[in-house]
Amino acid sequence: MSTMQLDIVTPERKVYSEQVDMVVARAAEGDIGILPHHSPFISPLQVTAVKVKKDGEEQLIAISGGFIEVHDNKVTLLAESAELPGEIDVNRAIAAKERAENRLADKKQEDLDFKRAQLSLQRAMVRIRVGKAR
Ligand code: ATP
């Protein structure tokens, strides 16, 4: 079966580098499924759990925004942060979710802080989902 190279990198480290069968990521316009030999593609990424299929098995990886680039049978996710399921501290994410929810309850929707709290809440919810999926 044909595969493609998937690299997930953050400013701090290379999180993942493997040959995979399929990637499903949330791009600007919504979910995109990428199979080997996909046409060239570039898009911002939403805060999301990226689904990776390798050797017939599915794995989730938590991604907190960034970019996806596809070319020459290679998928690169340049993420602000990314964690594999085993790297996630679920209790830390639950605490972050509660902090964000409290901030959202206090703030007005047009505040910059409201937007920040919303993103923080999304990161925490993705981490909880991915961390519990292991
Ligand atoms: P917190 O408020 O718990 O720091 P955050 O959403 O503000 O959460 P980020 O700024 O997105 O955290 O991430 C900072 C660094 O900490 C990144 O390297 C990220 O991978 C890591 N990180 C954040 N939350 C977790 C977690 N629950 N488990 C493991 N690593 C985490």
- For residue 122, pLDDT over 80 is answered with yes
User: Distance from CA of residue 87 to its chain's centroid?
Assistant: 14
Model pLDDT, residue 130? 98
Domains of the chain: 4-83 (2.60.15.10), 87-132 (1.20.5.440)
Model pLDDT, residue 109? 80
DSSP-based three-state secondary structure for 65: strand
Over the Cα atoms of the chain, what is R_g? 16
81 lines ligand 1 (CB under 6 A): yes
Question: For 14-48, how does the pLDDT look when each residue is reduced to its tens digit (9 = 90+)?
Answer: 999 999 999 999 999 999 999 999 999 999 999 99
Model pTM score = 0.94
Identify which of 133, 121, 123, 118 has the alpha carbon closest to the alpha carbon of residue 48: 123
User: What atom of ligand 1 comes closest to residue 93's alpha carbon?
Assistant: 27
117 lines ligand 1 (CB under 6 A): no
Report the DSSP pairing between strands 4-9 and 22-27: unpaired
Question: For 50-88, how does the pLDDT look when each residue is reduced to its tens digit (9 = 90+)?
Answer: 999 999 999 999 999 999 999 999 999 999 999 999 999
Beta-carbon contacts of residue 62 (< 8 Å; ≥ 6 apart): 49, 50, 82, 83, 88, 123, 126, 127, 129, 130, 131
